[in-house]
Amino acid sequence: MGTFMNFRRHQQKWAYQLSNSKYGALGVDVDKKGIEALRDMTNDLFPGSFCTVVRDPKDPKQGLILHEDGAGSKPIVSYLLYREAGDPACFEPLAADVIAMNVDDVICVGGSPEVFSDYVALNALKVDKVPLLNSLAKGFAKSFSMLKRHGSQLLFGGGETADLPDVIRTLDVSGTVFARVTLEQAITGDRISPGDAIVGIRSGGKCSYEERPNSGIMCNGISLARHALLSNAHLKKYPEISDPGIKGYYGRFLVGDYVDDLGMTVGEAITSPTRIFLPIALEILRHADVKAMVHNTGGGLTKCIKLGKGTLYVKDSLPEPDPIFKLIMAESGDPPRQMCRNFNMGVGLEVVVGKGDVDAVLKAAGKFGVGAQVIGRCERRPGGNAVRLKTGYGEFEYL
């Protein structure tokens, strides 16, 4: 009985911690508690680096990377657009999302992505599977072609499609990438030194290889974005877009509402495909000595906190957040401190280099028409890593 009561108290404490933030109240844990049990099982050669790297048993000088990530809850908004417009093309951008969330993670350790596979789980009672898969195939083909033009040959190794109407309310799209890295060239964060510069590369705007302007949101924080921005009218019409236990969809917009500050509809802004930074990162690596690279996904501007040892990441020259982040903050009431943990706030990729390599990084980003600037520096911090942000909304420190 005592053990059960202890479990209940732990469960209640966990639930309270989740509900203490707008994001947590939606059942999302940005800290990803519990993954330590799985992380401890890995044969990671560089604990604390951005991705897990294991030694190739057939070539001890080579590292292997098998990385999986998905589009988060963004497919739910794509589903809404699909149901409202009746056009399966609404699903096409999810392909770029899934590729970006994988290849941009592995390049952060210097990994060269070689093979990609997809996983699509859906409720076929709600989504017409054939048009969905045709749309995703078109999106994957576009991304593969773009990457090939910019020097990265990513092979498609097939995947899995699962009809799971009793498990999935709408659909889920994810993928896995296999990559290699020469171990002596791996980017681990261990060489970060006091005085190194942090260069931020924008997630929004229009990149030269993108078809249209990007809102910058990427794939994290989507649960908060859709519930804070979208009207309850959508939930009443399509109850499958949320769990009955969540008090969500309290926004004032429909997916098709155009917002001047966004320069697009709310639905287009939320489903704007995650920028694929791989071509930019490869250009940077050709011309600069990169000590660390951070893809600002889960954890937002604090994503770097686990990288390296004894480092204080001071980010005191951050760019103005893209309009989508300002809108989410205003509509959700989520405090700025939490917004910076949930979202990239306009900085999709961070590159840590010595001061002498800053110009090379800026030039590489500029080659593709992407905004970039020095957003801060690294300082020594005995006792563990920390992040200090200076924003227009206040100064925040994360340990």
Count of alpha carbons within 13 Å of 120, Cβ hemisphere only? 22
Rg of the chain over all Cα atoms, to the nearest angstrom: 21
In a domain, 59, yes or no: yes
Per-residue pLDDT tens over the stretch 39-63 = 676 788 988 889 999 999 999 999 9
- pLDDT of residue 5 exceeding 50, the answer is no
In a domain, 258, yes or no: no
What percent of the chain has pLDDT above 90?
A: 86
Per-residue pLDDT tens over the stretch 184-242 = 999 999 999 999 999 999 999 999 999 999 999 999 999 999 999 999 999 999 999 99
In a domain, 164, yes or no: yes
Mean pLDDT over the full length of the chain = 92
**Which of 24 and 349 is assigned the larger pLDDT?**
349
- pLDDT of residue 4 exceeding 80, the answer is no
Which residues span the domain enclosing 118? Answer: 32-187
Cβ atoms < 10 Å from Cβ of 85 = 13
Number of domains in the chain: 1
Say what the pTM is.
0.90
In a domain, 139, yes or no: yes
- pLDDT at residue 383, rounded to an integer: 87
**Which of 27 and 324 is assigned the larger pLDDT?**
324
Per-residue pLDDT tens over the stretch 92-150 = 999 999 999 999 999 999 999 999 999 999 999 999 999 999 999 999 999 999 999 99
- pLDDT at residue 13, rounded to an integer: 37
CA 363 to chain centre: 24
- pLDDT of residue 33 exceeding 80, the answer is no
Q: 3-state SS of the chain? A: CHHHHHHHHHHHHHHHHHHCCCCHHHCCCCCCCCCHHHHCCCCCCCCCCCCCCEEECCEEEEEEEEEEEECCCHHHHHHHHHHHHCCHHHHCHHHHHHHHHHHHHHHHHCCEEEEEEEEEEECCCCCCHHHHHHHHHHHHHHHHHHHHHCCCCCEEEEEEEEECCCCCCCEEEEEEEEEEEEHHHCCCCCCCCCCCEEEEEECCECCCCCCCCECCCCCCCHHHHHHHHEEHHHHHHCHHHCCCCCCCCCECECCCCEECCCCEEHHHHHCCCCCCCHHHHHHHHHHCCEEEEEECCCCHHHHHHHCCCCEEEEECCCCCCCHHHHHHHHHHCCCHHHHHHHCCCCEEEEEEECHHHHHHHHHHHHHCCCCEEEEEEEEECCCCCEEEEEECCEEEEEC
- The whole-number average pLDDT for the span 301-317 is 96
- pLDDT at residue 119, rounded to an integer: 98
Per-residue pLDDT tens over the stretch 345-387 = 999 999 999 999 999 999 999 999 999 999 999 999 998 999 9
Distance between CA atoms of residues 280 and 364, nearest Å: 6
In a domain, 125, yes or no: yes
In a domain, 55, yes or no: yes
In a domain, 177, yes or no: yes
Which CATH number characterizes residue 63's domain?
Answer: 3.30.1330.10
Most confident by average pLDDT, 11-15, 18-22, 208-212? 208-212
Residue 284: closest CA among 375, 187, 203: 187
- pLDDT of residue 6 exceeding 90, the answer is no
**Which of 61 and 22 is assigned the larger pLDDT?**
61
In a domain, 207, yes or no: no
